[in-house]
Chains A and B, each alone.
Chain A
């Protein structure tokens, strides 16, 4: 039984770090613009699908990954430039709807390019499972977890330590004031979209060997990443990561100890409870009023 429990936890953390990586991208754009970018899942899908195509075309994996990340960043920047920027003065809700539209467009384009089939990326360091006590995990899961830790640290350092990062945060607190002190809000927005597209692409490439990818893979991952961000508190990158891990572990324990049929229900009830009792998320800023 203990052995089983250990496996559930390992599974939960593996899946959770997936969600965390996606949730991180949500938090970043929210930080810069107060907008929930519903095309985040599509960035994940684009990164994965592009890398898969490049590997299939004979590129070595590292090169394919870098090119795929760059292409996805390009798409993120284009999205910002041609869809978000023209509506800069619009309300947050309008912008969110624009991102939903962008997600549908990206999915449609992906469908035309790659068709409806699922595709897999080869695992970075083999498929031989690693035994940990009574539990097993795939080497790829370690890649995902390691990358999640590394990226979270980098994003955190960027936002808190660098001038650019602080400028990005300033835009989210008060756009007008940020502009008055000389921050170029447009550049910051582009930066946020480029960064989260890049983060999404990295997440997509890391998880493609485990989950496979198809043109609509972004929907589910986007949804789970969004849940992770809600649980952790929007706008708090660390919260999104904690939320993702919590979500993954909860899913695994729910399926393992209660019933696999109720797994998703347990998670959604949990998300609802969080929204009821801590509307700003478990790790969100307690008061959201801005001066």
Chain B
């Protein structure tokens, strides 16, 4: 074989190799989540869900015949780290889309950067500020605190109760929830007669509840997550306060019922349908999606959490948009995300528009109540 022929063959091989590599060029999904730190119970199921979905879709041949590559960084709940990681995702990893931001703090910190760079971002965090006012490149898939507050007030109206006492923690989620509850109160004719707070790592809230007991409140609302709401629930029982107690979607997990024990009986809260997936009527379009996700997740990782559901919605909306756009052109993908209609996700049925970058309505929340140590749909029970 002469040298020239050999070189030609080599070049051909190389070209073929390049071509092959090009055909299988992965779709890069960037992610920054809070997998460690105080909000890890949110970020941990989110990351597991992303990995699970990516693995499953790759096994089925990927999207547009391209495999999916997940590039993830753990922010530990530190907003400055979140910004650094997002810059890295954009500049050195050159991702096609970012799904993430477990907490509102992390998400809000990176919005100026993704807006400047023109990078589609689907946030998994709750705060309404993320999409209100609408930002061109930013979307979110988690329910807002405002929706939770509205759902609770709706239920109070139905029960004919109007005087409420608030008790909230000192975390970002708690404070934002308190803010929404206060803002929405006049709209629903609710009067806030007591407004107490506690430290999220406190071990006893009987002092605050004693003050509430002395007020003329007809119902109690506790907005928070972690162990504190469980302690509040137990303390309410201990003090013999016989008022309806509402919690937020922050504690919509089995852990809350386990921690609060019998004191949790009768506690109501707005939660994503995932919590009561089995109980939904068969006509509910969400039911099969929820059960499929739930069974798949639980087969691998144990009890499902609604926060993992946000990650499921986020990545599915992203991939569907890429598929419709026929590629990873960022502007096209962004437009397609905005056109998401009727996507049935874990958190509800999404209908996005240029004015609404979340696309969920109040119906996405179900009012659930703890009965016999399990979540029950209030509408079924009555």
Q: Which residues of A contact B (CB under 8 A)?
A: 4, 7-8, 10-12, 14-15, 18, 116-120, 127, 129, 136-138, 207, 210-212, 214, 219-220, 251-252, 255-256, 260-261, 263-264
Contact = CB atoms under 8 A, between A and B. Distances in A.
Given A212-B227, A260-B196, A15 B204 contact: yes
Interface of B: 40-41, 44, 170, 196-199, 201, 203-204, 206-208, 210-211, 214, 226-227, 230-231, 234, 237-240, 255, 258-259, 261-263
B238 A136 contact: yes
Contacts of B211: 4, 256, 260
Given A118-B259, A212-B259, A261 B197 contact: yes
Contact of B203 (A18, A129, A136, A261): A18
A14 B205 CA distance: 12
A260 B198 contact: yes
Contacts of B240: 129, 136
A249 B226 CA distance: 25
Contacts of B227: 118, 211-212, 214
Contacts of A264: 199
Nearest to A220: B201
A118 B255 contact: yes
Q: What is the predominant secondary structure among interface residues of chain A facing chain B?
A: helix
A15 B203 contact: yes
A211 B262 CA distance: 16
Q: What is the predominant secondary structure among interface residues of chain B facing chain A?
A: helix
Contacts of A14: 204
B199 A263 contact: yes
A137 B263 CA distance: 15
Q: 10 closest Cβ contacts across the A-B interface? A: A211-B203, A220-B201, A255-B207, A118-B227, A256-B207, A7-B210, A129-B238, A11-B206, A212-B227, A252-B207
A203 to B, nearest CB: 12
B203 A127 contact: no
Contact of B204 (A4, A136, A210, A219): A210
Contacts of B226: 118
Contacts of B203: 15, 18, 207, 210-211
B237 A129 contact: yes
A241 to B, nearest CB: 17
A251 B201 CA distance: 13
B40 A116 contact: yes
A118 B199 contact: no
